[in-house]
Amino acid sequence: MPKVTLVQLVYNGMEYLPDSIGSLVVQTHTNKEIIVVINGNEDGSKQYIEKNFPEVKIIDPRENLKFARGHNLVFGSQDADFFQLVNQDLILEPNYVEEILKVFVNPKVGAANGKIFQYDFRAKKRLPTLDTTGVVVYKSGRARSRGQNELDTGQFNNAVELMAVDGAACMFRKSALEAVKYKRPDGRNEYFDEDMDMYWEDVDLSWRMVNAGLACRFAPGAIGFHGRTASASPGGYKKVWSFVKHHRKIAPWIRRLNYKNHIFLFLKNCPKLYWQFFAREFFYNIYVLIFEPSTLKILPKFFRQLPSIWQKRKFIKNERKISLAEAERLFS
């Protein structure tokens, strides 16, 4: 039986922990370990876990390592066959791990995503709308959660291949992580790209696996519930004013990371730079200049990190094991 390490980063998560961690300890897959990394403890989250879930291993670096580095700390230090990521606002069905492992029977599968529904933590209510069934990517550089805000009518019941998985509830094979890691100048292994910190780093890691000849897979029998705080605009780009209104509700620091990282994601991984990417960026930057000029405060950091990103693009290109036709087949 493969060993699975369930990983959760906690940042002042008391609102979620009773239900979220509670769903981890009852997983039917028995060869498991639960590790929590404390990124923020102003609300006593660490003490609550110590008192109520003594079987959980706690790592407290006494600083906020963010999403990428926090997970890298666990990936690089733990002996496991698989790592199951669990956002602090995520509840898993008891057989989630057991079900998602089924798609890893194929040794080429490096990552997988379950069927995740939305959840209202205030009302303690499971919602019928989907949160994610994986991530789709377009030649324009746009990426979105597959099925988000849709009612589940069985349209996502097949175990299909994905371009990328969603970091809220995905599983990674340890050997796949090792196959695509970078070696940082300080000697640490980098699995998630720490230049990206958070936002799109999950799609980046997935895409790197695909470029390396591995596969991402959807596991429809693995069910979870996510209280996501920032989701896509229900109308997408087609409803412009709805999109503007929705986007303005997002914290400025999130918009800045999203702006920087969506460009880095495409520059690093895309087999070639498509005209659709430049067209979208042209119109997107007009939108930013008019409606969100403060987002451009990220540009100094963008240009500082760009040389590192370009070196990583060269690394990915040299290690790519799929053809252009195979790569293009996965675009939506």
Tell me the CATH number at 187: 3.90.550.10
User: Do 155 and 279 share a structural domain?
Assistant: no
Q: What is the pLDDT of residues 236-275, one digit of tens each?
A: 555 555 666 655 668 888 899 999 999 999 999 998 889 9
Q: 67: pLDDT confidence band, cut at 50, 70 and 90?
A: very high
Average pLDDT of the residues in 155-174: 94
Last residue of a domain, one of 165, 197, 226: 226
Structural contact between residues 321 and 209, judged by C-beta atoms closer than 8 angstroms:
no
Average pLDDT of the residues in 183-189: 85
User: Do 63 and 93 share a structural domain?
Assistant: yes
Q: What is the pLDDT of residue 125?
A: 92
Q: What is the pLDDT of residue 325?
A: 87
- Count of the separate structural domains present in the chain: 2
User: Do 273 and 171 share a structural domain?
Assistant: no
Within a domain: 231? no
Q: What is the pLDDT of residue 237?
A: 52
User: Do 130 and 272 share a structural domain?
Assistant: no
How far from 156 is each of 133, 151, 277, CA to CA, in Å? 7, 10, 28
Q: What is the pLDDT of residues 24-53, one digit of tens each?
A: 999 999 999 999 999 999 999 999 999 999
Q: What is the pLDDT of residue 239?
A: 55
Q: 193: pLDDT confidence band, cut at 50, 70 and 90?
A: very high
Own/partner long-range contacts of 286-291 (Cβ < 8 Å, ≥24 apart): 288/259, 291/244, 291/247, 291/248
Within a domain: 171? yes
Within a domain: 16? yes
User: Do 240 and 190 share a structural domain?
Assistant: no
CA distance 207 to 215: 9
CA distance 192 to 207: 11
Helix (H) or strand (E) holding 66: helix 66-77
User: Do 194 and 252 share a structural domain?
Assistant: no
Q: What is the pLDDT of residues 268-313, one digit of tens each?
A: 999 888 999 999 999 999 999 988 999 999 999 999 999 999 999 9
CA distance 156 to 129: 12
Q: Which two tokens stand for residue 231?
A: 């989701």
Q: What is the pLDDT of residue 187?
A: 82
Last residue of a domain, one of 202, 226, 250: 226
Structural contact between residues 114 and 224, judged by C-beta atoms closer than 8 angstroms:
yes
Within a domain: 146? yes
Q: What is the pLDDT of residue 326?
A: 87
Q: Is the pLDDT of residue 201 over 70?
A: yes
SS3 for 287?
helix
User: Do 288 and 211 share a structural domain?
Assistant: no
Q: What is the pLDDT of residue 247?
A: 58
CA distance 328 to 312: 20
User: Do 240 and 207 share a structural domain?
Assistant: no
Percent of the chain exceeding pLDDT 90 equals: 81
Structural contact between residues 179 and 110, judged by C-beta atoms closer than 8 angstroms:
yes
Task: State the pairing for strand pair 109-120/215-226.
Answer: parallel
How far from 155 is each of 150, 151, 152, CA to CA, in Å? 10, 9, 7
User: Do 83 and 165 share a structural domain?
Assistant: yes
User: Do 73 and 32 share a structural domain?
Assistant: yes
In terms of residue numbers, what domain contains 175? 4-226
Within a domain: 325? yes
Average pLDDT, the chain: 92
Last residue of a domain, one of 191, 226, 261: 226
Within a domain: 21? yes
Residue 92: partners with Cβ closer than 8 Å, 6 or more residues away: 23, 24, 27, 86, 169, 222, 223, 224
Q: What is the pLDDT of residue 243?
A: 60
User: Do 119 and 8 share a structural domain?
Assistant: yes
Q: What is the pLDDT of residue 88?
A: 96
Within a domain: 89? yes
Q: What is the pLDDT of residues 81-135, one digit of tens each?
A: 999 999 999 999 999 999 999 999 999 999 999 999 999 999 999 999 999 999 9
User: Do 244 and 203 share a structural domain?
Assistant: no
Within a domain: 198? yes
CA distance 10 to 16: 10
Task: Return the higher-pLDDT residue of 183 and 200.
Answer: 200
Q: What is the pLDDT of residue 64?
A: 94
CA distance 289 to 165: 31
Q: Is the pLDDT of residue 234 over 70?
A: no
